[in-house]
């Protein structure tokens, strides 16, 4: 049955309210009045036969690091609660409003977006949509849960090392990380200038593609139709397939078998030297840690470290120790390696691998700091490689048994080939849904 924007918005707001304290952990702000007003305006346009585009009347949440005029941008941190209010909306917020999107609220996140786990001691940790005792994935923690639980139709997140794709994989939704330059980051609180990207989480690839068009300031054009038969798919077995849960590997291999049955040309890709390079190069410190230490230098100098999440603080402190020659060397090596990987994957349409090597662990299991950091590194491992190489990537939910934890399939495309990747992802999505 067709529902109006007002009816769908009311339903989403009720889902947030009915979840009680959990809703307050998923959303840091809920825009009840303005969302209902935007929904009524969308319904009035629809009744008059007017549309502002594919997101007109769609319910969208934004991660709590995007500026909204008149509000402090807290980026998941209590230390920023009293920051000066933003003077104007972030560029992507402006574009969403202009496209008729209904902004329902801001979703919770890891403090300063600095972890792939999703734990937040200041505003609470959203429980996984499948099992609230497990982590949501981060840093766009509330975003993945909100989409999966029907609290919004589309969520806007950021992805520096997997922060869109990890919560998508853990909560059973679809997430898209674009080529970095595709979407403006103006008005987005930074983690890493070199690696931050902005993109959507949603129930399917079409919603992600239409949202990407709005975020990138492009007029929506339908994606090209791609057949699975004949697709050249590379599977980069090696490092990124180590420490993989049995459930994750089984789901991945079932997907590969389905692709082969549909006559996709699936072959192993010998890329381990290139895909392991980001880890070898950054053993003495990461680009993210160095740049985050710069971003938060004044805060750390002001002696407010006791107000920060200790797990985030330890990573910021590590960033302060990274020597400038090392940082420059990593940047120079990255610039040289990117065209090498581009050449190595030129004969493939996409790469395919597990988004995250494990299913979401329990929140309680990460109480120990060493376990937390070790798990965080493992969760970030696969997606972060493709931030380093600035390649667009999609996480698709794989078919699963009722009650099983979600598993994500990551598809990686070519730099600036974002729409082609989304077209291929649509074809694979349809195949996987038929298998499920």
Instruction: Show which residues are catalytic.
Output: 63, 139, 163
Given a contact cutoff of 8 angstroms between Cβ atoms, the answer to whether 59 and 8 are in contact is yes
Distance from CA of residue 23 to its chain's centroid? 20
- Alpha carbon distance 100, 51 (integer Å): 8
**Where in 236-371 does DSSP place strands (E)?**
265-268, 350-354
Residues whose CB falls within 8 Å of the CB of residue 370, separated by 6 or more in sequence, listed in order: none
Measured from the Cβ of residue 139, the count of other Cβ atoms closer than 10 Å reads 37
- Checking 78-83 for CB contacts under 8 A at 24+ apart, the result is 78/122, 78/123, 78/307, 79/299, 79/304, 79/307, 79/308
For 313-327, b where at least 16 C-beta lie within 10 A, e where not — what string? bebbeebeebeeebb
Q: If DSSP codes are grouped into helix, strand and coil, which group holds residue 351?
A: strand
Strand 232-235 versus strand 265-268 pairing type: parallel
Only one residue has tokens 């895909």, namely 275
**Where in 11-74 does DSSP place strands (E)?**
27-30, 59-63
Distance from CA of residue 283 to its chain's centroid? 25
Given a contact cutoff of 8 angstroms between Cβ atoms, the answer to whether 406 and 359 are in contact is yes
Q: If DSSP codes are grouped into helix, strand and coil, which group holds residue 405?
A: coil
Strand 393-397 versus strand 350-354 pairing type: unpaired
Residues whose CB falls within 8 Å of the CB of residue 291, separated by 6 or more in sequence, listed in order: 190, 191, 192, 193, 194, 195, 319
| Cα within 13 Å of Cα(418), Cβ side | 25
Quickly list H helices, 182-245.
205-215
- Alpha carbon distance 58, 34 (integer Å): 14
């Amino acid at each position: 049955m067709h529902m109006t924007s007002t009816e769908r918005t009311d339903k989403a707001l009720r889902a947030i309210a009915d979840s009680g304290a959990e809703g307050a952990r998923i959303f840091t702000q809920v825009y009840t009045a303005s969302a209902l007003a935007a929904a009524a305006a969308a319904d009035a346009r629809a009744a008059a036969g007017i549309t502002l585009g594919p997101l007109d009347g769609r319910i969208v949440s934004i991660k709590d690091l995007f500026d909204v005029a008149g509000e402090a941008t807290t980026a998941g941190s209590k230390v920023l609660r009293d920051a000066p209010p933003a003077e104007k909306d972030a560029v992507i917020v402006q574009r969403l409003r202009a496209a008729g999107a209904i902004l329902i609220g801001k979703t919770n996140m890891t403090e300063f977006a600095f972890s792939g786990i999703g734990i937040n001691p200041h505003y609470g940790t959203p429980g996984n949509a499948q099992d609230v005792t497990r982590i949501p994935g981060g840093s766009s923690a509330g975003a993945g849960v909100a989409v999966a639980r029907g609290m919004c139709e589309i969520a806007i997140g950021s992805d520096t090392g997997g922060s869109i794709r990890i919560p998508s994989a853990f909560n059973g939704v679809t997430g898209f990380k674009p080529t970095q330059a595709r979407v403006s980051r103006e008005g987005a609180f930074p983690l890493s200038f070199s690696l931050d990207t902005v993109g959507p989480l949603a129930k399917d690839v079409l919603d992600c593609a239409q949202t990407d068009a709005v975020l990138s300031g492009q007029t929506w054009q339908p994606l090209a139709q791609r057949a699975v038969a004949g697709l050249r798919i590379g599977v980069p077995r090696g490092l990124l397939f180590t420490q993989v849960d049995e459930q994750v590997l089984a789901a991945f291999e079932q997907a590969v078998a389905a692709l082969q049955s549909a006559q996709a040309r699936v072959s192993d890709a010998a890329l381990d030297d290139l895909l392991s390079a980001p880890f070898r190069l950054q053993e003495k410190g990461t680009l993210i840690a160095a740049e985050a230490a710069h971003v938060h230098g004044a805060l750390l100098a002001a002696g407010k470290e006791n107000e920060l999440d200790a797990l985030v603080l330890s990573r910021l402190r590590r960033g302060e120790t990274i020597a400038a020659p090392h940082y420059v060397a990593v940047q120079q090596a990255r610039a040289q390696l990117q065209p090498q990987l581009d050449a190595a994957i030129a004969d493939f349409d996409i790469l395919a691998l597990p988004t995250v090597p494990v299913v979401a662990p329990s929140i309680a299991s990460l109480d120990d700091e060493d376990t937390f950091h070790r798990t965080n590194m493992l969760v970030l491992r696969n997606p972060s490689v493709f931030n380093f190489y600035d390649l667009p990537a999609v996480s698709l939910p794989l078919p699963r048994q009722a009650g099983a934890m979600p598993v994500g399939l990551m598809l990686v495309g070519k730099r600036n080939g974002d729409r082609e990747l989304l077209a291929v992802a649509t074809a694979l999505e349809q195949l996987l849904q038929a298998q499920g």
